[in-house]
Copies of this chain bind each other. A is one copy, B any other.
Amino acid sequence: MIVKHGMNYLTVLNSARNHKLAPPLAVLRRQQFLIRVLGVRGENRMQGSKFEADSDNILRAITPVFDPNRHKGQAGKIAVIGGCREYTGAPYFAAYFAAISALKIGADLSHVFCTKDAAPVIKSYSPELIVHPVLEESYSVGDRDKDHISRRVVAEVDKWMERFDCLVVGPGLGRDPFLLDCVSEIIKQARQSNVPIIIDGDGLFLVTNNLGLVSGYPLAILTPNVNEYKRLVQKVLNCEVNDQDAHGQLLSLAKQIGEVTILRKGKCDLISDGEIVKSVSNHGSPRRCGGQGDILSGSVAVFLSWARQLILADEGNLIISPTNPTMLGCIAGSALLRKAASLAFEDRKRSTLTTDIIECLGRSLEDICPAC
């Protein structure tokens, strides 16, 4: 029943969003009515907590309906900056998991920018990804060539930048100083082009040590796990993690860094843009196999792109809450991963691997928001 309502609602939303200019008044009114009735403004319809996001309805609201007139690329072009040599312990698979998850959710194209060594392996996992072996690490670059090579690396990524709807920076990136310097420049270019950025894994190591990279950029999302969050809190708030006031502390952290959105991963995912805090705690799995965070970053990238497209297309007439596309992307991405993890666990129990969860992304999205 909810799904059906979701579809009706979506149809209306979509008819609105297909207008390049403001949608006709009748459509807008109907849209506002449905949003009220179906509770996409869901702050007060919580699952146990007043902070709980109405995640399934949000996911339905921002997922585009299929339209035969749309062409390749319109459902999203995602790029992952990650995947390097494993000497540093950063696994190649992280970049693969993030990129393939984006495709499995519905992005049209998914790119990976990685080192030369990583490229053949990432390619061998799937023929679906566009893999660019352009990153370089210190060991292969002489001191004299650093400036020149750094410029080349940044230019290689930048020539694609305008085409991307979202960048995921960090999965399997490693901590090579030269590589991280290049990635800092790539982040700056993305900001100049107004491309949203999800920062995860080793990207958080980079950003925690150089907060200026994301400070004041409302299209940046940080997705820390327990340890990464602890380091951020210590660095920014100069104190320890306070779980008694988890919501308040997250709000302060996002505000203090400045305009960014933070998705704090945990048993219950907490999300704040410095203005409001939302939580997503439905579904989920007790299995903690490595790589689930990478699925999340790819998933958030897609939903953020969709939410942003929707909001831009409606030029402010769309009523949806929260209104910030980064918040919407985080809520929907978190909800979808949790649902997929729960389906995979039902099936595989203790032997659930991250690839099993990825295989459940499609079914999970279909359950919440049928394609047709």
Which residue numbers of A lie inside 8 Å of B, CB to CB?
A: 63, 66-75, 86-87, 89, 91-93, 96-97, 103-106, 108-109, 119-121, 123-134, 156, 160, 225-226, 266-267, 284, 286-292, 345, 348-355, 361-363, 365-366, 370-372
CB distance from A18 to the nearest CB of B (A): 14
Cross-chain contact B121 with A123 (CB below 8 angstroms) = yes
Residue on B nearest A371 in the bound complex, by CB: B349
Cross-chain contact B108 with A289 (CB below 8 angstroms) = yes
The answer to whether A134 and B290 touch (CB under 8 A), given A104-B351, A128-B353, A350-B371, is: no
Q: In the complex, what residues of B have CB within 8 A of residue A370's CB? A: 349
The 10 closest A-B pairs by CB, nearest first: A351-B362, A66-B286, A93-B127, A106-B350, A349-B371, A72-B288, A104-B351, A91-B130, A124-B124, A121-B123
Q: How far is the CA of A371 from the CA of B105 in the complex (A)?
A: 28
Cross-chain contact A108 with B74 (CB below 8 angstroms) = no
CB distance from A121 to the nearest CB of B (A): 5
Residue on B nearest A91 in the bound complex, by CB: B130
Contact among B74, B89, B104, B350 for A160, CB-based, below 8 A: B89
Cross-chain contact B130 with A288 (CB below 8 angstroms) = no
The answer to whether A87 and B348 touch (CB under 8 A), given A286-B66, A289-B103, is: no
Besides A70-B286, A92-B127, A351-B361, 6 more A-B contacts (Cβ < 8 Å) are A68-B284, A92-B123, A92-B131, A97-B127, A104-B353, A106-B351
Q: How far is the CA of A346 from the CA of B95 in the complex (A)?
A: 29
CB distance from A16 to the nearest CB of B (A): 19
The answer to whether A134 and B87 touch (CB under 8 A), given A226-B71, A350-B371, is: yes
Residue on B nearest A108 in the bound complex, by CB: B288
Cross-chain contact B120 with A73 (CB below 8 angstroms) = no
Q: In the complex, what residues of B have CB within 8 A of residue A105's CB? A: 350-351
CB distance from A102 to the nearest CB of B (A): 11
Contact among B127, B156, B372 for A87, CB-based, below 8 A: B156
Q: How far is the CA of A130 from the CA of B93 in the complex (A)?
A: 8
Q: In the complex, what residues of B have CB within 8 A of residue A67's CB? A: 286
Q: How far is the CA of A91 from the CA of B122 in the complex (A)?
A: 13
The answer to whether A86 and B349 touch (CB under 8 A), given A124-B121, A286-B66, A289-B103, is: no
Residue on B nearest A90 in the bound complex, by CB: B130
Contact among B68, B287, B362 for A350, CB-based, below 8 A: B362
The answer to whether A103 and B353 touch (CB under 8 A), given A74-B288, A125-B127, is: yes
CB distance from A276 to the nearest CB of B (A): 25
Contact among B69, B93, B125, B349 for A365, CB-based, below 8 A: B349
CB distance from A170 to the nearest CB of B (A): 16
Residue on B nearest A127 in the bound complex, by CB: B93
Q: In the complex, what residues of B have CB within 8 A of residue A91's CB? A: 129-131
Q: How far is the CA of A137 from the CA of B89 in the complex (A)?
A: 21
CB distance from A159 to the nearest CB of B (A): 8
Q: In the complex, what residues of B have CB within 8 A of residue A361's CB? A: 351
Q: In the complex, what residues of B have CB within 8 A of residue A290's CB? A: 72, 108-109, 128, 130
The answer to whether A86 and B284 touch (CB under 8 A), given A105-B351, A120-B121, is: no
Q: How far is the CA of A132 from the CA of B89 in the complex (A)?
A: 7
CB distance from A148 to the nearest CB of B (A): 16
